[in-house]
Structure 1
Amino acid sequence: MRHVTGILLLSLSCSAGTVFAQDPAASYPAKTVRLMLGPGPGSVADGLTRVMAAALTEVWGQQVVVDNRSGAGNTIAPAIVAKSAPDGYTLHRCGVGDSISPALYKNLSYAHLRDFALLARIGLTPNILVVHPSLPPKNMKEFIAFAKANPGKLDYGATGAGSSPQLSFELFKSMAGIDVIHIAYKSAALAQQDLMAGRVTSQMTNLPNHIDTVRRGKVRALGITTMKRSAKLPEVPTIAEQGVPGFDVSSWYGMCAPIGVDKAIQKKIEVDSLKLLASPQIKQRLDALGIDVEPLDSTAFAEFFRVETDKWAKAVRAAGIQPR
């Protein structure tokens, strides 16, 4: 009997060992992980990615390195990740631009909704619509009425056609039924300078860019682009609550991996990322960058990504931008 019991225990032990050995997440990561993104060093997106990389390095005990690949509308990084070995050692710090690019480029070598596991949303940065103080409208309803009374006479400064700020304003125009002319700039900072100088009348850009200028009276804030007000400027109402119901635009950030990565590894990255985002220290670091930590798990993030992709496709069509 003891001999049979011994065999049974040995068998169970071997089975458990085999299950453990077959779980790739148990030993992941065993080497350096590369976290790729399109936006360049110094951007808010880059800062967020470096906060997450440092935190994951500490949790995993393996280095997570940030790899910026700017250019081509931020499509270089996801193209590289999509073609990489699906082993979990090359990840994509995806973002709002990845839900816009399918409508802008006809011949992308990848599709996020097909070729990527959408693991977790990290958070978002609201945009804000501001105008030069000399403009008569004092709130969003007055701005819309003024624009309707003066079609084609107002303008807004934003980076080139197809950029997130430009498409955000075009979506706003479409939903509000107004005609405001786009003035293209090489950077949001240049558009901001011309706005404060009165050379353009309005701008829609990331909220942190204008917190100080709003408080100093250099520009007038008319509306926040998300569905809820920002704690950073709580006195500024949302655009949605001022006559454009359903308007909801932000720069958002997530974690993605090639679709072929083992499900157990996908789950580990998702769970560890979400745990970090519940940490007060991580929240504080991201808040300092102007990011609202609003995480979503993989199921909710995938649905959010699909909704965003559809929304931006409609915005591109409304703006009359031809895919290239």
Structure 2
Amino acid sequence: MSIAGRPQAVMSNPRADRVKEVARLAGRPVRLKRRRFLAEGPQAVREALAAHRNRTAGGGSPVVDEVYATEACLDRLPELAELVGQAVGVPLRLATDEVLAAMADTVSPQGIVAVCHFLDRPLAEVLAAGPRLLAVLVRVQDPGNAGTVLRAADSAGADALVLTSSSVDIYNPKAVRSTAGSLFHLPVVTGQDLEGLLAALRGQGITLLAADGYGSVDLDVLQDQSALRRLGAAAGDRDRADECADERADGGVGSGLPALEAPTAWLFGNEAQGLSNQELAAADHRVAVPIYGQAESLNVSTAATVCLYASARAQRRQG
């Protein structure tokens, strides 16, 4: 087969040194040392190449180092070869299915993988952009959950995902796959000390909401309040809107409840343990997603999706 009109040999030895070097990226120590990770499958590679093209066009650092693909994959999806051709400085190397299987973390890597640079940003850079919606993962250990929360945050239009130092590596192959390409869309901040992080967020005027199944604040009430404030503002009567919202609040908490339309960071805790008492106390409010059926609780990624969309809707409606 030829790429861009030039014949190219096909990598066929799954025990070759180059193959082993790529495969080692499945391990966290090697990822950290090289600050590289592997994106597997057409969707992830497509988004990685798009991010690479956009960033380098603006004079930024590269996203993709190199791409490996089978002939069958490129025959089936010829646009991928075109995307690599448009990505400055990214070689495309042909490989057999056996070589791709040896490189990738999955048994069936769908015929294409890309070696990518780490994408995390400094917290100060994210805060300097004036974020209005952030997702914070606190001691979240499952890579699938972390990746799914990142995907949900991207879908909800959040400004960034932040992970504490005790959370899973977002470049874990399973986490990367779970993001379905959203890792290349949304700024990510990693390795944060929770106490310092929350202090920095508060300094930016960001409200800290802890997702907690036993929280005293009901997410439904917050959404009702937001809607009433919006209606009151539209009618030129914000005071009456706030009064109506207070009347709807459970337990007479009233105006002390947070506004979903305000700049917000949602804290999501460990899958099995949730947020600790100390972590809950560090937040401004503990918010519960109501459960109408008989389920004991919600998976952290599902709860995150509901909470992030509630804030996103309130903020967009206000805008």
**What interval of TM-score do these two structures reach, taking the shorter chain for normalisation?**
under 0.3
Q: Which has the higher contact order (CA 8 A, sep 6+)?
A: 1
TM-score computed with the length of structure 1 as normaliser: 0.25
TM-score computed with the length of structure 2 as normaliser: 0.25
